[in-house]
A = this chain, B = another copy of it.
Amino acid sequence: MTDPTRTLGVAVVGYSFMGRAHSNAWRNVGAFYPGVPQVRMQTLVGRDEAKVGQAAAELGWAGTATDWRSLLDRDDIDIIDVCTPGHLHAEVALAALKAGKHVLVEKPLANSVAECEELVAAAAASSSRSLLGFNYRRVPALALARELVRDGRIGTVQEARISYLQDWLSDPQAPMTWRLRKETAGSGVLGDLGSHAVDQLHYLLGEHVTQASGTLRTFVPQRPGPDGTEAVTVDDAAWATLHTASGVVASLEVSRVATGRKNALAIELYGTTGSLRFDLERLNELVLTEAGDARTAGASTILVTEPEHPYVEAWWPAGHVLGWDHTFTSQAADFLRAIATDDPVHATFEDGLAAQRVLAAIEASHARGGTLTDTGN
């Protein structure tokens, strides 16, 4: 257990989209969560010295480094926050754990089940704390949904529907990028959005997917690239039917060609006495239906901005809605609190492994014509 009064030095590795979102969290966590250990924004890491210097100045970092290895034996760094592309997560996180640093890894944990297993073993063997950045677990509406499911408020869940739809590839003329090459991206939409979706299922249901049947599709097999037409080697969309240990059946659909959907993570949980619905594009709302008096039963839209709601008391008065980035600040607060108390904190690396196993099973099922496949969870 870390002395809760000690200020912790933080380094973030990476300064693009996710590095920026995590920097925002470290900059604000003290203002909204004054009860957790304080942090110093010590070092921002990036390979390009000029660019990382400018980013550090904008984002509020005290210094920079161009090699993440230089962090490992520094006494002023307590937490290493890994925001690199996914295929580098494992290397950085393993080294950081070995060096006795607390480690936060942006999702997905890694691009393969094998790497995830290695990370889980390393975390288990370490006395440091580790956290996987499935930030949507800190959306107040989803944290409330988790509480309501756990409390039995909708009875026994039987059926779930989860989809995560975007549209930036709808246009067949949208150009080639590194995200559409298997060697750089590892996977297409399944790994990118599917990992969030599967983790939410695990989180909300409190159990794992044990079997999966799935299909992948690349609607546009070739796209214009810098050197002429180039083959797209990852999936544009994926579908799966998932089964949990207790018997819940969940449908999963993820897409980058769903025209008009910008960031639409939509979740529906149907239990024996009630149901829950959520849409990330309206992230302050949760819809609860409870069977009961047929005359007044309805689908109740809860504006999840009351002090009684998870995380909300840290922020603003009732009715003052939060945005996407607030989830990262709450995540940082939970991690800092866990460092000070040794209490559990999620998502764990095990959660990351469990999600990766489901994605791998979906790919395996697709390769076998859609047949039901064990996930290993």
Interface contact A303-B262, CB-CB below 8 Å: yes
User: Which single residue of chain B is at the shortest CB-CB distance from A305?
Assistant: B262
Q: Does A308 sit at the interface, judged by CB under 8 A?
A: yes
Q: Does A118 sit at the interface, judged by CB under 8 A?
A: no
Q: Does A30 sit at the interface, judged by CB under 8 A?
A: yes
Interface contact A298-B303, CB-CB below 8 Å: yes
Interface contact B299-A260, CB-CB below 8 Å: yes
Contact mask for chain A residues 37-78; partner B; CB cutoff 8 A; 1 contact, 0 none: 000000000000000001000111000000000000000000
Residues of B close to A30: CB separation below 8 A: 58, 60
Q: Does A283 sit at the interface, judged by CB under 8 A?
A: yes
Residues of B close to A297: CB separation below 8 A: 260, 300, 302
Interface contact A259-B291, CB-CB below 8 Å: yes
Q: Does A244 sit at the interface, judged by CB under 8 A?
A: no
Residues of B close to A264: CB separation below 8 A: 319
Interface contact B301-A301, CB-CB below 8 Å: yes
Report how far A21 CA is from B288 CA in the complex, Å: 31
Report how far A372 CA is from B365 CA in the complex, Å: 11
Residues of B close to A272: CB separation below 8 A: 170-172, 257, 259
The winner among A171, A237, A263 for most chain B CB atoms within 10 A is: A263
Interface contact B306-A295, CB-CB below 8 Å: yes
Report how far A3 CA is from B367 CA in the complex, Å: 59
Q: Does A182 sit at the interface, judged by CB under 8 A?
A: no
Interface contact B219-A158, CB-CB below 8 Å: yes
Contact A259 B271, CB 8 Å, known A298-B302, A323-B323: yes
Contact mask for chain A residues 242-265; partner B; CB cutoff 8 A; 1 contact, 0 none: 000001010101010111111110
The winner among A21, A213, A253, A308 for most chain B CB atoms within 10 A is: A213
Chain A 226-250 residues near chain B, CB threshold 8 A: 237, 239, 241, 247, 249
Q: Does A331 sit at the interface, judged by CB under 8 A?
A: no
Residues of B close to A275: CB separation below 8 A: 258-261
Give min CB distance, A304 to chain B, whole Å.
9
Give min CB distance, A294 to chain B, whole Å.
5
Report how far A17 CA is from B297 CA in the complex, Å: 25
Q: Does A371 sit at the interface, judged by CB under 8 A?
A: yes
Give min CB distance, A44 to chain B, whole Å.
12
Residues of B close to A249: CB separation below 8 A: 215, 217, 237, 239
Residues of B close to A324: CB separation below 8 A: 316, 320-322
Sample of 20 further A-B pairs with CB below 8 A, known A171-B273, A263-B319, A282-B282: A17-B316, A34-B54, A167-B270, A170-B271, A215-B372, A217-B249, A239-B249, A258-B275, A259-B271, A259-B273, A261-B270, A262-B318, A262-B319, A287-B298, A294-B307, A297-B302, A298-B303, A299-B300, A301-B301, A320-B323
